[in-house]
């Protein structure tokens, strides 16, 4: 059992930990799991809430005309949930690559390798942000086709998806200063900011739609 005093082993799948142990591992004085891993878990939980709202709505006569849309959305959300879970491992792997590269002796090869490691550390949260946006688009499309009894769960899912996008933006911004190419660095930061702003707008639209549901 990981009680917060011991790091998770390098080959351990974080998502196999009981919830209490995952929280303790996050609190521990170890670099992983950290913000990137938590972003993946938060995103997956957001998707799961959206799926729950969808699953309780599907099959009801009142919403029968939307069954084809529910089927498509259900498949996409299930895939997104798995992708968020995969990003937890990807984030840990990216951090370990960065850590191992940073330990190397200074050399031109290390400088080049560090840019690769930084790129990996940025790519993971950028992918998480894009995934969060796709989920938010699906939740918005479902917001007026969801049972009002599940509307709060759908809105909560949107809040968590938007939070995953915000956490991803934090991770991009902490790593972007190490990108050697100034133009590329500016583009990365701007794209991340744009995605976060879009995520916030989508979350607000979903909350507005849910508040207006009968």
What is the percent of the chain with per-residue pLDDT over 70, rounded to a whole number?
93
Residue 20 has pLDDT above 70, yes or no: yes
Q: What does the pLDDT read at residue 127?
A: 97
Question: Any idea which residue has 């916030």 for tokens?
Answer: 200
Backbone torsions φ then ψ of 33, nearest 5 degrees: -75, 145
Q: What does the pLDDT read at residue 4?
A: 39
**Pairwise CA distance, residues 187 & 185, whole Å:** 5
User: How does residue 3 score in pLDDT terms, banded at 50, 70 and 90?
Assistant: very low
User: How does residue 119 score in pLDDT terms, banded at 50, 70 and 90?
Assistant: very high
Question: Any idea which residue has 């809040």 for tokens?
Answer: 159
First-to-last C-alpha distance (Å) of the chain? 47
**CATH architecture of the region 14-211:** Up-down Bundle (1.20)
Averaged pLDDT score across all residues of the chain: 92
Q: Could you read off the pLDDT of 84-110 as tens digits, one per residue? A: 999 999 999 999 999 999 999 999 999
Q: What does the pLDDT read at residue 106?
A: 93
Domain boundaries, given as residue ranges, for the chain? 14-211
Bond into 33 cis (ω within 30): yes
Q: Could you read off the pLDDT of 156-209 as tens digits, one per residue? A: 999 999 999 999 999 999 999 999 999 999 999 999 999 999 999 999 999 999
Q: Is the Cβ–Cβ distance between 183 and 175 less than 8 Å? A: no
Residue 31 has pLDDT above 90, yes or no: no
The tokens describing 204, both together, are 């607000």
The tokens describing 70, both together, are 């529910």
DSSP structure class, residue 104: S
Q: Is the Cβ–Cβ distance between 136 and 162 less than 8 Å? A: yes
Question: Any idea which residue has 């990108």 for tokens?
Answer: 179
Q: What is the DSSP string of 4-32?
A: SSSPPPTT--GGGS-HHHHHHHHHSSSSS
């Amino acid at each position: 059992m990981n009680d917060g005093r011991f790091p998770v082993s390098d080959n351990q799948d974080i998502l196999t930990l009981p919830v209490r142990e995952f929280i303790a591992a996050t609190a521990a004085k170890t670099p992983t799991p950290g913000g990137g891993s938590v972003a993946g878990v938060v995103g997956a939980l957001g998707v799961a809430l959206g799926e729950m709202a969808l699953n309780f709505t599907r099959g009801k006569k009142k919403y029968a005309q939307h069954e084809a849309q529910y089927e498509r959305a259900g498949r996409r959300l299930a895939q997104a949930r798995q992708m968020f879970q995969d990003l937890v491992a990807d984030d840990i792997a990216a951090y370990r690559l960065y850590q191992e590269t940073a330990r190397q002796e200074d050399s031109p090869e290390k400088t080049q390798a560090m840019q690769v490691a930084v790129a990996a550390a940025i790519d993971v949260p950028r992918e998480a942000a894009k995934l969060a946006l796709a989920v938010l688009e699906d939740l918005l499309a479902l917001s007026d086709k969801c049972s009002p009894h599940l509307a709060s769960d759908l809105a909560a899912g949107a809040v968590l998806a938007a939070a995953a996008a915000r956490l991803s933006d934090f991770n991009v911004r902490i790593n972007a200063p190490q990108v050697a190419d100034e133009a590329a660095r500016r583009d990365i930061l701007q794209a991340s900011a744009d995605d976060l702003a879009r995520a916030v707008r989508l979350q607000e639209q979903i909350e507005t739609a849910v508040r207006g549901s009968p």
